[in-house]
Amino acid sequence: MRRTAAAAVATALLALSLTACGDDGSSSPGGGATETKTITITFDGDTVTPNGERVDVAVGQPIELDVTADAPGEIHVHSNPEQELEYDEGSTTLTLDPITQPGVVDVESHSLEQTIVQLEVK
């Protein structure tokens, strides 16, 4: 009986220690990652890079767009609520409002009529 009780206590302690180690600090209490996701975007004439790629982000994760452009313009984020962000010629860092709903969010250049990235929010 003593060995059974000791084994149960050891198993419980092991389970607790594994649970404690499972938190790598990359998420907030609300479930979203706290590390900023940075997406580099380059506008050169009539082209944009990236061009339609999917990028994984967590619900509520901070997102920055590092934009390098040969002319000023605007990026449209089809989140809820939608976001319109202007950038200047040269280098600009844009910060998105947190995206709080899971799903796919298109980030577009309406002037080029191109999808820059699709944010896959999980």
Assigned domain for 2 exists:
no
- Whether the pLDDT of residue 116 is over 80: the answer is yes
Assigned domain for 80 exists:
yes
- Whether the pLDDT of residue 11 is over 60: the answer is no
Mean pLDDT, range 44-65, rounded to an integer? 96
For 54, the token pair is 């999917």
> In angstroms, rounded to a whole number, what is the distance separating the alpha carbons of residues 80 and 107?
12
34: domain CATH number? 2.60.40.420
- Whether the pLDDT of residue 44 is over 50: the answer is yes
**Number of structural domains, the chain?**
1
Measured at the CA of 11, the angle between CA 9 and CA 13, to 5 degrees, comes to 70
- Whether the pLDDT of residue 25 is over 80: the answer is no
Mean pLDDT, range 50-64, rounded to an integer? 97
Residue in this structure with the two tokens 């989140």, named with its chain if needed: 79
110: phi > 0 → left, psi -120 to 50 → alpha, else beta; which? Answer: alpha
Tens of pLDDT, residue by residue over 70-103, are 999 999 999 999 999 999 999 999 999 999 999 9
Assigned domain for 41 exists:
yes
Assigned domain for 48 exists:
yes
Residue in this structure with the two tokens 């790629």, named with its chain if needed: 53
For 36, the token pair is 């900023």
**Owning domain of residue 90:** 25-121
> In angstroms, rounded to a whole number, what is the distance separating the alpha carbons of residues 35 and 14?
29
Q: What is the pLDDT of residue 34?
A: 81
